């Protein structure tokens, strides 16, 4: 018999980053030497004492279902973290532990969004935001930032977008940003928050790269602006990036009790709960001092400085200096000129992978056709070799 696939599934685009990663891995498995700039995860091991906490959980037979929204021990550490790092006060009923920050985002949208509701997404954006909005039958409203403004939207842009909307519902704000590494300062956040508050628009604040910030820049959670803004904000974070725990699949969200209760109902009917092993490991991770993460952050900064400097040496390439995360997002629009059939960043990305064995994610996946995303979560040796191949590939055009 013919199998009917739902319209929702047929219309869902596969993740561009995962697609590229999969193709690069397949080529490497075939013995092809590929330099992979597409990976969105730290190339560091999970800290030893965090792994030991996971092993102990197994040895202690902590292997059954847990409370849907997370074990009290972990919630306590999340509450402490939000208080100490972000000056935010929450109680256990205002916290949910999810299978990755991606799940927290999806659950937040499922709770806030009815069909046709408009969700504002600054571009460039992380690849999963628009598809997740589509999944709940919302309407993604893209607000394009300007490169000269370091890829940050302004409150004025957001206000104009809301004026033109029929059912403005929520803003997804991600900073430090994937793919640009941009961050917002407290004044910029306050202005954006005011627009949301005045228009009864919720804020979904994706702060997963919070601890990966370079130089003298600081992270401010938009929820800490004042109590009114905290009430309209869902803060999303996790342990994947800062603690090199991507495969442990553990994120969390903090928000008003009625929001967390609703997210808990959705999680209870889907994932049930996060594995207890990961939760026990996360308890240990969240007790680590920032000083213990400095080695990884300093390594990323060294790579960033080298990569951006080398990119800006290539004629026709311009790259802003990322302030956080571990991505660079150079403008390569001069090379999307129809030569050799290259009319888009996707075609340029495929050309570079097939002919020069360097994997770079096309900017079109992030809503910015003129750019490419490089992840510098790879060794300096790979960065040097990859940049050489990239420059050679562009020169061939």
Choosing from 254, 270, 288, the residue where a domain stops is: 288
Task: Please state, as a whole number, how many other Cβ atoms lie within 10 Å of the Cβ of residue 381.
Answer: 9
Domain shared by 21 and 54, yes or no: no
Q: Residue 291 to residues 238, 297, 359, 389: CA-CA distances in angstroms? A: 18, 10, 33, 36
Q: Please report, for the domain that includes residue 161, its CATH number.
A: 3.40.640.10
Number of Cα atoms under 13 Å in the Cβ half of residue 70: 34
Q: Please report, for the domain that includes residue 339, its CATH number.
A: 3.90.1150.10
Cα angle for residues 356, 362, 367 (degrees, 5° grid): 170
At 98 the pLDDT is 98
Helices 101-112 and 257-268, packing angle to 10 deg: 110
pLDDT in tens, the chain (397 residues): 888 888 888 888 777 777 777 888 888 888 989 999 988 899 999 999 999 999 999 999 999 999 999 999 999 999 999 999 999 999 999 999 999 999 999 999 999 999 999 999 999 999 999 999 999 999 999 999 999 999 999 999 999 999 999 999 999 999 999 999 999 999 999 999 999 999 999 999 999 999 999 999 999 999 999 999 999 999 999 999 999 999 999 999 999 999 999 999 999 999 999 999 999 999 999 999 888 899 999 999 999 999 999 999 999 999 999 999 999 999 999 998 776 778 999 999 999 999 999 999 999 999 999 999 999 999 999 999 999 999 999 999 8
Strands 202-206 and 168-174, by their bridges, are: parallel
Q: What residues make up the domain containing 23?
A: 7-45+292-395
CA-CA distance, 317 to 147, in Å (whole number)? Answer: 13
Cα–Cα nearest to 99, from 288, 256, 282:
282
DSSP string, 73-110: HHHHHHHHHHHHHH-----GGGEEEESSHHHHHHHHHH
Residues 6 or more apart whose CB falls under 8 angstroms from that of 19 comprise none
What are φ and ψ of residue 247, in 5° steps? -75, -10
Domain shared by 174 and 257, yes or no: yes
Q: Is residue 1 part of a domain?
A: no
Choosing from 253, 270, 288, the residue where a domain stops is: 288
Sheet with 95-98: strands ordered across: 95-98, 251-254, 233-238, 202-206, 168-174, 118-123, 139-144
**Total domains present in the chain:** 2
Task: Please state, as a whole number, how many other Cβ atoms lie within 10 Å of the Cβ of residue 250.
Answer: 27
Domain shared by 332 and 198, yes or no: no
pTM of the shown model: 0.96
């Amino acid at each position: 018999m013919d199998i009917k696939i739902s319209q929702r599934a047929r219309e869902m685009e596969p993740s561009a980053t995962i697609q590229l990663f999969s193709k690069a891995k397949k080529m490497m498995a075939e013995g092809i030497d590929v330099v992979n700039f597409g990976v969105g995860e730290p190339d560091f091991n999970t800290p030893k004492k965090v792994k030991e906490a996971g092993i102990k959980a197994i040895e202690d037979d902590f292997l059954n279902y847990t409370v849907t929204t997370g074990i009290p021990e972990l919630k306590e550490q999340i509450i402490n973290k939000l208080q100490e790092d972000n000056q935010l006060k929450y109680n256990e009923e205002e916290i949910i532990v999810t299978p990755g920050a991606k799940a927290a985002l999806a659950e937040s949208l499922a709770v806030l969004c009815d069909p046709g509701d408009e969700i504002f997404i600054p571009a460039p954006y992380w690849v999963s935001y628009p598809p997740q909005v589509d999944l709940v039958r919302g309407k993604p409203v893209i607000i394009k930032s300007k490169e000269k403004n370091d890829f940050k939207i302004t409150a004025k842009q957001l206000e104009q977008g809301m004026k033109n909307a029929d059912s403005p519902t929520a803003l997804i704000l991600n900073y430090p940003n994937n793919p640009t590494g941009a961050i917002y300062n407290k004044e910029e956040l306050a202005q954006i928050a005011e627009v949301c508050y005045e228009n009864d628009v919720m804020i979904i604040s994706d702060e997963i790269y919070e601890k990966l910030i370079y130089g003298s820049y600081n992270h401010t959670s938009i929820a800490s602006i004042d109590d009114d803004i905290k009430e309209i904000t869902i803060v999303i974070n996790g342990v994947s990036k800062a603690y090199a725990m991507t495969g442990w699949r553990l994120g969390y969200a903090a928000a008003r009790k009625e929001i967390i209760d609703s997210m808990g109902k959705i999680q209870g009917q889907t994932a049930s709960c996060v594995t207890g092993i990961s939760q026990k490991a996360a308890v240990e991770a969240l007790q680590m001092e920032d000083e213990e993460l400095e080695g990884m952050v300093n390594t990323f900064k060294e790579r960033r400085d080298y990569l951006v400097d080398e990119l800006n040496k290539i004629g026709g390439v311009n790259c802003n200096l990322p302030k956080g995360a571990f991505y660079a997002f150079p403008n390569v629009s001069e090379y999307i000129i129809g030569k050799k059939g290259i009319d888009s960043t996707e075609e340029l990305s495929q050309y570079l992978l097939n002919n020069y064995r360097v994997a770079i994610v096309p900017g079109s996946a992030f809503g910015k056709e003129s750019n490419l995303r490089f992840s510098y979560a790879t060794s300096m040796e790979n960065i040097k070799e990859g940049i050489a191949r990239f420059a050679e590939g562009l020169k061939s055009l």
